[in-house]
Amino acid sequence: MAGTHGSSVDIATPDGTADAYLTHPDDGAPHPAVLFYMDAFGLRPHLRSMADRLASAGYTVLVPNVYYRHGRAPVVELPEFINPADRPEIFESIRPAAGTLTPEGAVRDAGVYLDWLAAHPLTTGGPAGVTGYCMGAGLALRTAGGHPERVAAAAGFHGAYLATDAPDSPHLLADRITAELYFGHADQDRTNPAEQIDRLGKALGAAGVHHHSEVYAGAHHGFTQADTSMYSAEATERHWTALLDLFGRTLRSG
């Protein structure tokens, strides 16, 4: 994408080396930092193109391979176009990699990624923005709750299992969050049913978290992912409008 520069980077963590994609405007100036969390299919060309689009709006964006404990990206072989209905074995192949990331490990990794971004000469050094997709929406929520002083805004799109009955459900961190949050939920999403959307909203409201949640009618889980059968161009553009508005209001003072 014109106007941005992307590169592969390695980030040392307590558990190994996380490979990641870093992209930023090619003007050589520092910009607000954004931590971009992948969906379950992992770091791949489509996510890099999404990160480039975000960078072109004036951000320095880091997309870590959160499966790094399992291996470098791509950790599984993916078709150019992902249709889980035709290839149900894809999820089985991903499961071992996903299993290497615990909630505790995710929060620990988040601190490393935020430190790395804050120290980078092409970031402004202020609190970061976070965005996440699918499983990444839960990681964004955990990051906001685990590092409240470091996150100014966090967004999650077609998030999965955000407010379950589990004792370590992401929504239970609500009372620690100081960031402004935005969620774009898919209404055709078995991983995030209406009762969980309601539970998340009530938890955030009770904790006094500044947040906005919208349900995208007709959208499926994965609607932002153009290399999948779940993609919706209309819902994706709506997501970009909401995300850029959130970051434009919360990160520009950094």
Q: For residue 166, what are the contacts with CB-CB under 8 A and spacing of at least 6?
A: none
Q: For residue 185, what are the contacts with CB-CB under 8 A and spacing of at least 6?
A: 158, 159, 192, 197, 213, 214, 215, 216
Q: Which structure tokens are listed for 42? A: 């992992």
- Whether 181 and 208 have beta carbons less than 8 Å apart is answered as no
Q: What is the mean pLDDT of the chain?
A: 96
| Residue recorded with tokens 């999650």 | 156
Burial-class residue 86 by CB neighbours within 10 Å (0-12, 13-18, 19+). Answer: exposed
Q: Is 36 a residue whose pLDDT tops 70?
A: yes
Q: Is 253 a residue whose pLDDT tops 60?
A: no
One-letter amino acid of 55: A
- Domain residue spans in the chain? 4-250
CA dist., res. 72 & res. 203, Å (int): 36
**Residue 25 preceded by cis peptide, ω within 30:** no
Q: Is 2 a residue whose pLDDT tops 70?
A: no
Q: Is 193 a residue whose pLDDT tops 80?
A: yes
CA dist., res. 219 & res. 224, Å (int): 9
Q: Say which CATH topology domain 4-250 has.
A: Rossmann fold (3.40.50)
- Residues recognised as catalytic: 134, 189, 221
Q: What pLDDT score was predicted for residue 254?
A: 40
